[in-house]
Structures are given as structure tokens and as C-alpha cells.
A and B are shown apart, each in its own frame.
Chain A
Amino acid sequence: MLTTAQLLQPLARRRTNEVVVTTMSVVRPWGRLSDHDLDFASADSAMGHAADLALGIALARPDRKVVCLNGDGSMLMSLGTLATAVGLGAANYVLFVADNGEYEITGHQAVPGAGRIDHADLAQAAGFRHVFRFEEARPYAEAVGDILSLPGPTFVHAVVEPGREGPISRGPAEQARYLRHSLADWSHQLRAALAADRPG
């Protein structure tokens, strides 16, 4: 298994101008590694809808990659998004599932089918163009560059150890900049940042 840090650090090192959408247990860890205007925390948000929200950004901005760092519990809440993403042929869409087998931030309850659901197989069956599955840190770290550069839709199933993240809030007490704003304020800032960075 990877740790959450082993999942996120190689991605943060390789990331350039991709939009990165996080949710649930990776929201704070990503915020400790990244302070980018194009980060978006799907926190204080809709359950299970980070992957489809990221897909919407990808459809609007085919000129840049959009990475979603989803969880296994969140993915199970909206499996239909796998079909939608493939049906739309979103070549700039990279969907990660950090599979820790539990609802970490609500108190470590097991997700349905924990340990028996292979998310990579689900993505393969849905028709994702590239599907990766990682249980070890080194091959993952070596592949991250390719993952970000391949034409998608691309799916990454990473088996990770449960962490110790608790419920997420928004406000000045949060360390990550993208959590110090309301969802509305950060949304409008991200929209402006993307508009400013639109190719001529």
C-alpha cells in the first residue's frame, strides 16, 4: 500500500498548470503540498460529486488537464460518472481513486465491498483509455509523469493506507489556502484564474 503522502508528493512535484480537484481525505494533505490558484477542494460540497464536477471543468477547458483526486467511498456514490466521462471522450481528464477502504474523515467506517471492489477493473470495463493500478509507491512515482501526459480519459486506482484526517471545515483556522475561503468565493476565484489563463 501507498501512504497518502506517497500518492500526493510525486503528483505535486510533477504538476504544472493542471487543475486539481480534491475531496475528502486528501483535501488537507494536498493543501499542505500545494498552494496553487488552480486547486479546488470539493469540501463543504456535494457528497460523491468531485469526479463529475472535475469532468465539467475538463469539458469547458479541453486545452488543459484536469486531475481529480477522488476517494473510493466517493467514487462508489457516483459510479455512473465513469460511463459519462468515457461517453464524452474527455481526453484531458485524469481521475484518481485513493482507495483506503473506508470513510476516513467521518470516523473510519468501512465502505461497501471494502477490499473486494477493484476500481481499476470498473474503469477498464467502463472504457477508460488508460487505466493504472498501484499498490506500491515506487512504480507509481515513476509513472506519474506519463499519467499526466497521456491522452485520456485516464484512471488511476491507488491502494492507500487509511490516514488520520478528520472532518473538513472552511475558515481562517484551516492551514490550506483553498479552505480559508467559502466554496462560493473560491469558486469565483478559480473561475477568474482559469479565464485569465485562457489561450488566445
Chain B
Amino acid sequence: MSTPTAESKPTAESKPTATLHALVMAGVTHVIGIPDNASGPLFQEILRHPTIRLVTVAREGEAFAIAAGLWLGGAAPLVVIQNTGLLESGDALRGTAVRMAAPVPMVVTGRGYATLEAAGLRPGQPATLELLTRADVDSTALLTEPTLEAWGVPFERCGADDDPVAAVTRTIASAREQGRPVAVVMTRPLA
């Protein structure tokens, strides 16, 4: 369900070693999701990691059900999906992690945010039919944050000037403190 975008192409300096270290320090046991260009290097690192297990799923909704089950069994999951996959996952997220009050943190890589910026738009701007159908605007970015709000999932956005490692660490801690899913929408490469 993840689709490539020019803004999220991996670069040599985007190898997410610091993020992986933060996951280890936070006690994450499983990373569940589907990789895209932004999260692919992290998935590759976790694949080789001795303690964190990578769970690649067939569809993003599965990630939330598996994460909720992992939490039931005493594990500490982290979901990593693209925002397109988030939009696919509504009932799975609502009916498992949210309804169960399960602390499931998620990193949502943000496809399409550069198109909003280039068009002079802001995330969460009212999704008019004109905006939803404009060729130069990726509607995924337009809808991601209003969707998280509608689903009752607290979130922060981590942009180009923000520290992605700190944002991921905060998101994991916040999910555990609140006993609910919490998201970070990552519109920049992981570090």
C-alpha cells in the first residue's frame, strides 16, 4: 500500500542508526508494518537486529491487530507504516488498539507533504473537492492529520527542522503513559 515519492527517497545519510538505538533504549521488542522509501532503511537495520523482531505484514490494518496481540502477550510493539496505509487501517486501529486501550505507538511516514508545501497549503486544511482532486496536491497528506484527529489518536508532526529520534522516543513514551495509540507523522527522513 506504500507508494514511492520523490521527497522520501532514501539517502546515504538517512541510515536510521540513531532511531534504532532509540527503539532499543525504549525496550521495543517488535516493529510491525510495511516499509516505504522513508522507512525502508530502518526495516533493513531491524531485519539484522539481534533483539528487535521485524514483522512485515501484507496490509497495514494487520499491523495494528498484530501489535495489539503482541501487547496482550507482554511485548512492546511499534507500528511503522506510510500515511496511505494508515488511511486503510481505520477499523483495525479503532477495533483493536484504541478499543483495548493498548499502548501502541506508531511512526507514520508522511507521503505527499512536499506537495502541500509546494502548493502553499498546510496539513489539515479543509479538504475541499478542488483540493482533493488537484493534480499537484497529494490528498494523502491533506487527509492524514484530520483522520488521526477524527480517530482520537494523539499525534505530533516531525518535520525537516525537528529531531526525529526525540520525536519517536516521545511518541513511544506518550503511548505507554496514556495507554493508547499515539502517532508521530514523520515528514522527514529518519536519522
Contacts and interface: CB of A to CB of B under 8 A. Distances in A.
Interface in B88-135: 91-96, 99-102
Nearest to B63: A52
A184 B75 CA distance: 17
B53 A59 contact: yes
Contact of B69 (A44, A47, A54, A195): A54
Interface residues on B, range: 20 to 34
Interface stretch (A2-10, A80-88, A138-146): A80-88
Contact of A188 (B56, B73, B94, B101): B101
Contacts of B53: 59
A191 B77 CA distance: 14
21 contacts: A44-B95, A46-B61, A46-B64, A46-B65, A46-B91, A49-B61, A49-B62, A49-B64, A53-B69, A56-B65, A56-B70, A56-B77, A60-B72, A60-B73, A78-B59, A78-B62, A80-B59, A87-B56, A190-B72, A194-B73, A195-B74
Interface string B43-82: 0000000000101111101101111111111110100000
Interface string A17-52: 000000000000000000000001000111101101
B188 interface: no
A56 B99 contact: no
Contacts of A194: 72-74
B30 interface: yes
Nearest to B59: A80
A183 interface: yes
A52 to B, nearest CB: 4
The 8 closest A-B pairs by CB, nearest first: A56-B69, A60-B73, A80-B58, A46-B95, A49-B65, A52-B65, A56-B66, A187-B100
